[in-house]
Amino acid sequence: MKSSRPHQWLEQFAAPSNTKRARPLFQSLAPVIGKEPWLLLLGSAPSQLSLEKQQYYGNPLNHFWHITGALFGFSASLPYSEKLDHLKAAGVCLWDVCGVFSRPQGSADASISLSSANDINSVLYRHPSIRTVACNGRKSFDLFQKHVSSENLGRIQLVLLPSSSPAYAMRNAVQTKTDVWRKNLSLDSKNCGIEEEDVSE
């Protein structure tokens, strides 16, 4: 009988009867990388909804696509594949710090338990055009600093961005986060593209 669980679920390890049931492990998404990228945007780990959809930032309440759409000149309402094409054309690649992980409490970053990190150094080695690594939120930043080797980072600018998660609430969240991302990424505001769309928070 075929399992109804998402295929990202890797394994439920057997545990002795006198121990708690082990947590399922999940595999993160493959990196999205175009030609001559300059920016690697790193999340912590994909949400349950993102895993089910096999899409980065698959929760429609997440501000990511509204922020990046405003910064790189495309609409957040475009089909997912077209949004990826726009990011790749702008020299932006996507990945997560966590490669294999567990997260027992929904999609909260605080409950992430990393089993193994993605091989981010190999991406930086293979793509020397990347000059900025930007972490989408504090959890991504902390995981990166703890689990990613400093190899190949001498030429890299490491940037912390406010989380695009709707859980990271603030007044006028999309506009405020977009402004901070633009500033921290040293983007020229006159080339930032379309005006942000409204999003439920």
| pLDDT score recorded for residue 170 | 84
Token pair of 140, please?
């991504």
Smallest Cα–Cα separation from 51: which of 92, 85, 102, 87? 102
Q: Amino acid letter at 147?
A: H
Assess whether pLDDT exceeds 50 at residue 179.
yes
Mean pLDDT score across all residues of the chain:
82
Confidence tier at 8 by pLDDT (50, 70, 90): very low
Q: Point out the least confidently predicted range of 99-113, 145-159, 162-176.
A: 99-113
Q: pLDDT, tens digit, for every residue of 111-127?
A: 567 678 999 999 999 99
Assess whether pLDDT exceeds 70 at residue 63.
yes
Token pair of 160, please?
């912390």
Smallest Cα–Cα separation from 199: which of 62, 89, 79, 69? 62
User: So where are the chain's domains?
Assistant: 26-187
| Cα distance between the two ends of the chain | 40
Mean pLDDT of 175-201: 66
DSSP one-letter code for 32: B
Q: Kindly list the distances between the CA atom of residue 26 and the CA atoms of 99, 149, 197, in Å, as whole numbers in the listed order.
A: 8, 22, 32
| pLDDT score recorded for residue 9 | 41
CATH 3.30.1280.10 corresponds to the domain 26-187:
no
% of the chain surpassing 70 pLDDT: 75
In a 3-state reduction of DSSP, which class is residue 139? Answer: helix
Active site residue 62: yes
Smallest Cα–Cα separation from 178: which of 190, 161, 160, 156? 161
Assess whether pLDDT exceeds 80 at residue 105.
no
Smallest Cα–Cα separation from 124: which of 92, 151, 96? 151
| pLDDT score recorded for residue 60 | 94
Confidence tier at 1 by pLDDT (50, 70, 90): very low
| pLDDT score recorded for residue 110 | 56
Which residue among the candidates 18, 59, 62, 184 is catalytic per the annotation? 62
Confidence tier at 14 by pLDDT (50, 70, 90): very low
Q: How many angstroms separate the CA atoms of 93 and 121, rounded?
A: 14
Assess whether pLDDT exceeds 60 at residue 196.
no
Q: pLDDT, tens digit, for every residue of 20-34?
A: 555 688 889 999 999
Confidence tier at 149 by pLDDT (50, 70, 90): confident
Q: What angle do CA 88, 93, 95 make, to 5 degrees?
A: 145
Q: What's phi and psi for 134, nearest 5 deg?
A: -115, 125
Mean pLDDT of 142-155: 82
